[in-house]
Amino acid sequence: MEYRYKQLAIEYDAMSAKKKTSGAVSNDLFEDIPVLKRKWHAALKPGQSLPQYEDVMLGSLGRLADHVALLREEDDRLEITRSGRYVQQWLQNDGWDIPVESVSPDCATVLTEAAICAVTNCKPHLSTAYCVRDGMVRTYDVLALPTSSRWGRTLVGTYINERAGQYNLLDSIFSTTEDGVVSLATIRDSAGVPCDFQVVHHNQSAASLLKLSAVELQWRRLRQGGTMLGTADVLARLFAIVAHSGRDQFELDCDDRNLRLGVHAFGDIVSLTVSDVTALKRREASFRLLFDANPLPMGIFDTETGRIMKVNAAAAEHYGYDRDRLLGMTIWDLWPESDMADLDEAMERLTARDDFHREWRHYTADRSLIDVLAYGRRISYEGRDGFLVAIVDITERRKVEARIAHMAHHDGLTNLPNRELYQERLRQVLQPGASGNRSIAVFCVDLDLFKNVNDSLGHPMGDRLLQAVADRLRERVRGGDMAARLGGDEFAVILADTPSLNEASDFAAKLIQALSAPYEIDGHELVIGASIGIALSPSDGSTSEELMKNADMALYRAKEEGGGVHRFFEKEMDLRAQRRRDMEHDLRHAFAQGDFELHYQPLVEVATGTISGFECLLRWRHPEKGMISPAEFIPVAEDIGLIVPLGEWVLREACHEAARWPDGIKVAVNLSAVQFRSRNLVQVVVQALAQSSLPPERLELEITESILLAETEANLATLHQLRGLGIRISMDDFGTGYSSLSYLRSFPFDKIKIDRSFVKDLAQRSDCLAIVRAISGLGKSLNITTTAEGVETTDQLDWLRAEGCNQVQGFLFSAARPASEIAALLARFGPRASKAA
Ligand SMILES: Nc1nc2c(ncn2[C@@H]2O[C@H](COP(=O)(O)O[C@H]3[C@@H](O)[C@H](n4cnc5c(=O)[nH]c(N)nc54)O[C@@H]3COP(=O)(O)O)[C@@H](O)[C@H]2O)c(=O)[nH]1
């Protein structure tokens, strides 16, 4: 641009010089202005603000008179009263006494301005006027000389003269545009047919764009060559345009540039504009590359109509449409009906924005829904306001996210909601107003005998069973209700709309029935049961935590009662739970304080009536509650894991005590199944024997069949190791529980202890006698000692002797007594005492 102005200035100077030498404007007149100014000053008399009109203007102007106009103020407006011929030509008006405002505005403006300034400042004022005459810009000096008339009026003598130098208006405009402008004259042959064109006019930009100097281009015939306009193709186009006096636009690619030619024919004169569109072309090529070849689906849609105006190959392929088919559609066609309100709202907002970035759902050609992220930018395309959109398909990402979210809230095995989702749902339905005034029932479900399946048939079978249980649960809940797996064989149900206690009870009963029906899995018919604890809101709690805790307590009660039943929460259960928590605390404290002691109950040989050993029984002397039964505290110690260190203490103490007894007197110590889980049981026993120096043959370990129910292989291995040390192993409480004979086959027990419940009714109940007889017979044939527990009467002793039982234990001889009383007991029932008897 700067170059253009410089060029303009040079052209102007050149023209000024030309005018001066050509004499188009009188050289002498260049001197007139200082002369007139001097004259005005010379005429100014002391004490006057303005010189007299006659002194300045009259009689002495001579040749300048043609260049002078006389202005005066008349009726509040400026009037030209007289004007010389030169001025009249300038004004294009030869009238006298005419208002200044009636002449052409370019003259009126400068005359008014000069006159006002001169009168206001009481001195000559020189202005410059630029006037356009015949397409030429001319510059005039306008000198206003304020004077006073004889009658006191102010008259302004105004001298006007053109300054040397004028320039062509169109030339100046053309010279400032970067586009080339060329005028061609059509050359016709003798037959009058156009055969060539000649450059008759052009601007500098045209020469630059056509890579010629201005001189080389001027008067050049196109067929002469040397320009890209002389090719056959361009000439053919120009001839065609001239033939119809029409217009056309086309592009020329040459070397490293792209030129766009706009052609307009006026008869035989052809006006040509040449624009450099190289940058534009490159932008278009980049756009094509980015758009057409982009692997991302892209398109342009009309903002107003939603019409799809352009798509790339990736879009056609991704959406599964033929490209033309896609171009005949609108973006509404891609949207699911359900999202239409969303689209309307989105479109409303789009019209006010230049770009957007949002998530939409689209239909593909096969009507499958995909999740897409659309990035849009407003563009103008084919004269329409549109949006260029790039699409990123995030369907898979959304699926994975949904899967992860599902997994975070569902149990992987059964696909039921997990504890977190269950609690969240419970919190939701408990919100004020969520379920009106209706009660909400929370069910804690625990499977009975599930552990057996897991232990006997393995975990995969256990898993299949849990899945089947989940299916049955799912079938029974609907709507806003929920069934969940909380972990292991623990499930839970929420009934969010439970009108009555009876209905909750009915539901629980039916659920137990459904879950207890046999399962057919991999050719196995499996039977388990279920126990349910129920808590209702608001009576049993108003928070999810309270309700779940209370339902759990009710479940505990149901389990305690043997399972297969449902129980509602009762306030009293809360007290029991509190008592239980107290006991756990007190147990830990008691162990730390050494509040436990061991008592010993004699084991008497039926044949001799002498003591052959003692069963070691744990006692807890509570500082406030007195003696607490092991039947009460051992299950709690097992639950909290205290039985492991406590059992170790029992073993060490019992061995230590027994080591002080006469040779051959054995000590029997009870082992809990939990002690087997600690995995260092053998080591603990070995240490107890070593520290006490008690021979292993004098130690008997009493186990219950529960040890053979869980982790059978590992526990059997432990038992074999213990027996390998020479320790005797007894099966306690035989006849209760499952009493599977296969246990007797799986391990060579040294002793079977017949549970005292059979001994108690031996004389009254034939079934008890039959069982005692069977167990004794079994012991005899397997060469296993049989010990009857709970013998309280001589009658019972007689029956047992008759049935061939080897050993007895019970209050008939003695209850369990502290170690300090052992000597007395031995004195009474000991081997020597018997001999004495
Ligand atoms: N794991 C451990 N378990 C232990 C330990 N110490 C005891 N126990 C187990 O606790 C249960 C209850 O024991 P306890 O209250 O001591 O009862 C025992 C005897 O007092 C009772 N008994 C004995 N004779 C009679 C009788 O003639 N009548 C009658 N009503 N009760 C009698 O029987 C219990 C002994 O049973 P058992 O162990 O099956 O031989 C109990 O199961 C203990 O095993 C311990 O250190 N570890």
Residue 834, pLDDT score: 44
Question: To test the ligand 1 pocket, which listed residue (627, 638, 643, 670) has its Cβ within 8 A of the most ligand atoms?
Answer: 670
For the CA of 617, the closest atom of ligand 1 is 6
Positions in the chain whose pLDDT score sits under 70: 1-30, 59-60, 350, 434-438, 499, 710-711, 737-740, 832-837
What are the contacts of 267-270 at 24+ separation with CB within 8 A?
Answer: 268/185, 268/186, 268/188, 268/194, 268/242, 269/183, 269/184, 269/185, 269/186, 269/200, 270/183, 270/184, 270/185, 270/186, 270/197, 270/238, 270/241, 270/242
C-beta 166 within 6 A of ligand 1: no
- Cα–ligand 1 centroid distance for 633 (angstroms): 12
User: Under 8 Å CB-to-CB from 474, ≥6 apart: which residues?
Assistant: 416, 483
Looking at this predicted complex, what is its ipTM?
A: 0.93
Residue 558, pLDDT score: 94
Residue 737, pLDDT score: 67
Residue 285, pLDDT score: 85
pTM, rounded to two decimals: 0.47
Residue 436, pLDDT score: 62
Give residue-wise pLDDT tens across range 392-437.
999 999 999 999 999 999 999 999 999 999 999 999 999 877 666 6
C-beta 601 within 6 A of ligand 1: yes
Give residue-wise pLDDT tens across range 120-148.
999 999 998 888 887 788 889 999 999 99
- Looking at ligand 1, which residue's alpha carbon is closest to its atom 33? 790
CA distance 787 to 611: 13
Beta strands 785-788 and 751-754 are parallel
Residue 743, pLDDT score: 76
For the CA of 672, the closest atom of ligand 1 is 1
Residue 711, pLDDT score: 64
Question: To test the ligand 1 pocket, which listed residue (617, 733, 736) has its Cβ within 8 A of the most ligand atoms?
Answer: 617
Alpha-carbon distance values, 776 to 99, 666, 688, 773 (Å): 151, 22, 32, 5
C-beta 735 within 6 A of ligand 1: no
C-beta 597 within 6 A of ligand 1: no
Residue 59, pLDDT score: 66
Give residue-wise pLDDT tens across range 491-538.
999 998 776 888 899 999 999 999 999 999 988 899 999 999 999 998
Domains of the chain by start residue, with CATH: 2-167 (3.30.450.20), 177-276 (3.30.450.20), 302-398 (3.30.450.20), 414-569 (3.30.70.270), 584-836 (3.20.20.450)
Asked whether the bond before 105 is cis by omega within 30 degrees of 0, the reply is no
C-beta 388 within 6 A of ligand 1: no
- Cα–ligand 1 centroid distance for 730 (angstroms): 14
Alpha-carbon distance values, 462 to 366, 453, 530, 659, 707 (Å): 43, 6, 15, 46, 19
